[in-house]
Amino acid sequence: MRLVLLGRTGAGKSAAGNTLLGSTQFPSRPSLSAVTQTCERRRGEAAGRQLSVIDTPDLLDSRGRQRDVCLEVRRCLLLSSPGPHAFLLVLPARRFTDEEKGALLTMTEVFGEAVLNHTVVLFTHGDSLGQETVQQYVDTQGRDLQQLLESCGNRYHVLNNMDTGDHTQVTQLLEKIEDMVAGNSLDFFVDQDAEERLRERENRYREEEEDRKEREELRRRSEEEQRRRAEQLKEEHEAQQRCQLEELRRRQGEEQRRQLEALRREQEETLRRKEKELQLQYQEQRQRLEQEQCEKTEEIKLRYRTQHQELLRRYEE
Ligand SMILES: Nc1nc2c(ncn2[C@@H]2O[C@H](COP(=O)(O)OP(=O)(O)OP(=O)(O)O)[C@@H](O)[C@H]2O)c(=O)[nH]1
Ligand SMILES: [Mg+2]
């Protein structure tokens, strides 16, 4: 029985592969980035069946890395040749997200609509359900998950990858797969249009990539232009500021000179006025002194004359 494990990064694909094979064949650990990078096949036996399990990296990522994804899808088809009996779409039994909702759409885009007839949804983290049954879990997750399950013919199974000793969970899963195979017209999934679809995807990717590069180039050029204009504006602004500053300095200098000149003139004027005042005072003082001197001389003369007359009079007497 050839089984392909599909699902988002960290969904528990490798852990489920190990549970199916009953031993650690695929590296599985908690990680935010992808642990499994390329498709790997391991063979083993479980519940009396020969198993060929193909573990895959995240082939359902709708964004980016499409070239790598196409390469890995080719590898996956090659490893499961002539075709897988079942695709196991691995979903952790936690809150169902929009990303997981998109996983089925990507799966049909990659492998074609027929893949739905060969798909069983495999819930991992069965231990986190606790007392809740998988049916109860499905009922509480809302319409999106129910629609996804309906698209896969309501085939689902839950695994607790922490309990590798529980063989019944593997046996029950293999029985569900066998029931599905029995109900299909073809025993295993054959994708005749795979190559054409992959080429289409690659072309689309190339076109998207070219578009992206073109947009990137345009963005780069526009950023460059913006930077250049900003630089030019800055230079212009700085030059304008320099001019304004020089003009301001010139005007300030002029104003200072004008004020100094006015002050000098004012001081000169004050000095001249003071000089005149002093001259005036000096002249007044001199006149006063001259007059005083005249008066005194007159007084002396008068006194002298009086004395003289007095002496004359005495003499005559
Ligand atoms: N408790 C619990 N942990 C699980 C279960 N299944 C997987 N895990 C843990 O989930 C983590 C991721 O599991 P992986 O098997 O590495 O996931 P993956 O889908 O292979 O991831 P990538 O290879 O990165 O794409 C690991 O630490 C597993 O031990 C489970 O049923 N119960
Ligand atoms: Mg893995």
Domain count, the chain: 1
For the chain, report the end-to-end CA distance as a whole number of angstroms.
186
**Ligand 1 site, residue 163, Cβ cutoff 6 A:** no
- Rounded to whole angstroms, the Cα distance separating 124 from 203 reads 35
Q: 145: domain CATH number? A: 3.40.50.300
In a domain, 208, yes or no: no
Q: Look at residues 164, 48, 56 and name the one whose alpha carbon lies nearest to residue 111.
A: 56
**Ligand 1 site, residue 19, Cβ cutoff 6 A:** no
Sites in the chain below the pLDDT cut of 70: 62-66
In a domain, 289, yes or no: no
What's the order of all strands across the beta sheet hosting 156-158? 40-46, 49-55, 2-7, 86-92, 119-124, 156-158
Ligand 2 centroid–CA 61 distance in Å is 14
In a domain, 252, yes or no: no
In a domain, 75, yes or no: yes
In a domain, 301, yes or no: no
Q: What is the pLDDT of residue 68?
A: 78
- Rounded to whole angstroms, the Cα distance separating 138 from 131 reads 14
Strands 156-158 and 119-124: parallel
Query: What is the tens place of the pLDDT at every residue in 132-182?
Result: 999 999 999 989 999 999 999 999 999 999 998 889 999 999 999 999 999
Q: Which domain holds residue 41?
A: 2-191
Q: What is the pLDDT of residue 64?
A: 56
Q: What is the pLDDT of residue 62?
A: 65
Verdict on whether the full-model pTM lies above 0.85? no
Ligand 2 centroid–CA 269 distance in Å is 102
In a domain, 12, yes or no: yes
What share of the chain in percent tops pLDDT 90?
79
| Six-digit token string for 177 | 């797969």
